[in-house]
Amino acid sequence: MPTALTSIVHELSDIELSDGSLHIWYENTSSAGPADNVRTDPKLGGLYDPENPNKDLLDEHGFRKDVIEAMKELKVPVVRYPGGNFVATYHWLDGVGPRQQRPKRPELAWLGVESNAIGTDEFMQWCEIVGTEPYLALNFGTALGWLEYCNGAQDTHYANLRRKNGRDKPYNVKYWALGNECWGAWQVEQMTKEDYAKKAYQWAKALKLLDPTIQLILCGENGVADWDQYVLKHCLKFDQHALGGSTTASLIDMHSIHIYTADNEPLKNAIAPRSAERAIEVCASLIDLARIQNNVPASVPRTTICFDEWNVWDPMRAPGEQGAEERYTLSDALAVAIWLNVFIRQSKYIGMANIAQSVNVISPLMTTEKGLMKQTTWWPLLLFSKYMRGWTIATHVSSGAYEGVTAPSWAQAAVDAPWLDVSAVVSDDGWVSMVVVNVNQTESFEIDVDGARPGNDGGKKYVITGSKWDVVNTEQNQEVSIDESDWDGRGQVKFLPFSMTMLRWKL
């Protein structure tokens, strides 16, 4: 049974969370029926919705203003484009220049048609409106030309093409991924780990010779696979030639891993992200091992983990080929809260963490013809994005734990699953924010929070819960949202069954 929570400043790890991962799904069919109050019109868009009859929802570019405002509310620092499997056969040249001249192409990842109505310049424009940085995923066949188009400042072909298309200054895109899930059988660009490591290393050298200011993200698997160990060993090498003789730069800045969690049993579903915490720790050790084996000097910054696809997703209940439109429950919202707790606790290893995805497809936001519906998972994401910024704080939890079967099964022997899952941060202006997720479905816990002493400004308490574990939000009813109240820090705090609680106080 929980007896105490204590919090002390521990790691001086600067953190940036809630980085949005995004696919442009502006033509998408719904897996839900009309009774579910989710759009069923396949022409209705997510970010870009020019055919919507409600023109008040659109800006002058055809972008959804409500989605833009939601992204601004999240303070999203990075958005990934053009997504994952799609990128293997994507040619960026199809999406630049006059729209009426852009070709429609067969889309082989999801067996659709890509209209190319949204391309590089439109995406960059959207990022500037939102106030976020772009993160582009490459295929190796078109990488150098795309980098030149986005970042080139010289009198060269693709830089001049960008100027011809109306953008004089370079976009200076910082983040570039060296492929996506190249280990997967579903990938058109599938390779063996040996072939990928060789190709990724060669392209990394070429890309950094063209623009040494960029950050390159290696394609990993799940952090614990043979693929991760092999490509890290063969790509985290000290290469001064490609880096202009620098002894303080690296070809590979981050290593990407992807994990989705889900289970039909609500408790197992909620705690499943704890397995990702162990994967982060293992992957961080593999990065250290590669540096040791390759004699990488200490002057070269340590490669961090780019968790650029994470979320709750059950492909059985939300098939990708039908749009992957998840209807998220309270259990899913708590799972997202634990995902975010994991990233706070492991922030010293994380360079970026991107929820996949932002609108309509396995997403916290769903567009309708008339507006925006915020799913259960939106609310923990919003609280973390607003308040869990600054410096991580170590937390010690004295608690009972779930000891049953886990999803995945290996996690039962590899990670703890306390009833109370906790993370905390302190901001630069002295506000402490602590999140406590109670995964016990029937029992609340009233406990002392040692070290919490709100000052004259008082404190705040935010609670996310619902009447049942499987409640969902609709346009008409917000079954799950945020209950906000004042908190003076006195006495015990009650953590309700199957809930997320955020406590905030100023030191």
Q: Domain ranges in the chain? A: 4-396
Show which residues are catalytic.
181, 309
Q: 242: which strand partners?
A: none
Tens-place pLDDT, residues 387-396: 999 999 988 8
DSSP string, 406-437: -SSTTHHHHS--BSEEEEEEE-TTSEEEEEEE
Q: Which ranges of 89-156 does DSSP label H, i.e. alpha helix?
A: 120-130, 143-151
pLDDT for the residue numbered 84 = 84
Tens-place pLDDT, residues 281-308: 999 999 999 999 999 999 999 999 999 9
Task: Compute the distance between CA of residue 456 and CA of residue 234 in angstroms, rounded to an integer.
Answer: 55
**Can you list the positions of beta strands (E) in 292-369?**
304-312, 350-356, 365-367
Helix (H, G, I), strand (E, B) or coil at 110: coil
Average pLDDT, the chain: 89
pLDDT for the residue numbered 70 = 96
Class level of CATH domain 4-396: alpha beta
CB 217 within 8 A of CB 256: yes
Per residue in 463-502, is it b (16+ CB within 10 Å) or e — as a string? bbbbeebebbbbbeebebbeeeeebebeeebebbebbbbb
Q: What is the pTM of this model?
A: 0.91
pLDDT for the residue numbered 491 = 81
pLDDT for the residue numbered 490 = 81
Tens-place pLDDT, residues 105-151: 998 888 888 999 999 999 999 999 999 999 999 999 899 999 999 99
Low-confidence ranges of the chain (pLDDT < 70): 1-44
pLDDT for the residue numbered 13 = 31
